[in-house]
């Protein structure tokens, strides 16, 4: 997949850690999630789940319909077993338009996580050690809707969610820690789309991290932040929203500014809390 930063990714040593806590499987469908309102009342972060088993994945799992992983830890092996941040890796899961992936823990090696070819729902999906990216959204229709509900991600050297396609991305009740960027609208893909829309709501963010969302204002991208709780960043080093000048040439995108502007970065100080 396309590198939006222009920097070479470093390789990392695989890190596996036992995770504590339990989490019941969620039962809402993607449609019900959208209908129930993504801008609801904020709540506390869920505990990270304990894996119920393990599953080695040597070639990408294609999903149409719904794949319920039963909270098993899926990790790359064979061709998907490379460790690091190299561009162009295959994903653990390939979701077709309209597919749902739920109750899955993605361990390490994580390869390129999840790819969505069109609208998709990622429900209660947990990335223990993000590989290239946690998920990449690639739909070509402006009507595509990518829903991330629940779950979390740790140890993302760069991006968690890579938004290469067209449409709308909604991230709700998610938690992220030790990361580069939570969401990035592709800054230099050869095929660019206008008016990508991003909503981040009821999310827990734990430092260190660089930014919550990066958008291309010259293409009309917008990002709304609501009920975002930021932990361990009293100096406010994590930038909530950065505006870039995107391109389709592969060049390093130019940073235009950051912070709320009422047009592209849509939030106020009251939408963010720090502790």
For the four alpha carbons of 2, 66, 144 and 197, in that order, the dihedral sign comes to negative
Q: Which two tokens stand for residue 249?
A: 């040439």
The model's pLDDT over 80-108, given as tens digits with 9 standing for 90+, comes to: 987 555 667 899 999 999 999 999 999 99
Mean pLDDT (whole number) for 249-269: 98
Query: pTM of the prediction?
Result: 0.84
Domain segments of the chain as ranges:
55-84+91-274
Query: Looking at the chain, how many residues does it have?
Result: 275
Q: Which residues contact 10 (CB under 8 A, 6 or more apart)?
A: 84, 85, 157
The model's pLDDT over 121-133, given as tens digits with 9 standing for 90+, comes to: 999 999 999 988 9
Phi, psi of 115 (to 5 degrees): -115, 135
The model's pLDDT over 53-83, given as tens digits with 9 standing for 90+, comes to: 999 999 999 999 999 999 999 999 999 987 5
Q: Which residues contact 24 (CB under 8 A, 6 or more apart)?
A: none
The CATH fold assigned to 55-84+91-274 is Pectate Lyase C-like (2.160.20)
| Cα angle 123, 30, 116; round to 5 | 70
């Amino acid at each position: 997949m396309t590198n939006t930063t222009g920097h070479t990714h470093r390789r990392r040593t695989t890190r596996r850690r036992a995770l504590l806590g339990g989490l019941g499987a969620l039962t809402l469908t993607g449609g019900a999630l959208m209908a129930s309102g993504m801008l609801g009342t904020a709540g506390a972060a869920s505990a990270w789940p304990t894996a119920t088993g393990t599953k080695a994945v040597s070639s990408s799992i294609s999903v149409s319909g719904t794949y319920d992983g039963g909270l098993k830890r899926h990790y790359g092996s064979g061709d998907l077993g490379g460790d690091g941040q190299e561009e162009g890796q295959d994903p653990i899961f390939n979701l077709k338009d309209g597919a749902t992936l739920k109750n899955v823990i993605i361990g390490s090696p994580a390869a390129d996580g999840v790819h969505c070819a069109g609208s998709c729902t990622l429900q209660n999906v947990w990335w223990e050690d993000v590989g290239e990216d946690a998920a990449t959204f690639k739909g070509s229709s402006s009507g595509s809707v990518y829903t991330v509900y629940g779950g979390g991600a740790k140890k993302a050297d760069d991006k968690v969610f890579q938004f290469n396609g067209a449409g709308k991305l909604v991230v709700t009740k998610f938690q992220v820690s030790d990361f580069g960027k939570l969401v990035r609208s592709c800054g230099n893909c050869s095929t660019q789309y206008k008016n990508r829309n991003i909503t981040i709501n009821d999310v827990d963010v734990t430092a260190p991290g660089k930014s919550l969302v990066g958008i291309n204002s010259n293409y009309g991208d917008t990002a709304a932040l609501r009920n975002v709780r930021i932990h361990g960043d009293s100096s406010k080093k994590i930038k909530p929203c950065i505006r870039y000048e995107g391109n389709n040439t592969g060049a390093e995108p130019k940073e235009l500014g950051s912070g709320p502007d009422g047009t592209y970065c849509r939030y106020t100080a009251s939408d963010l809390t720090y502790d």
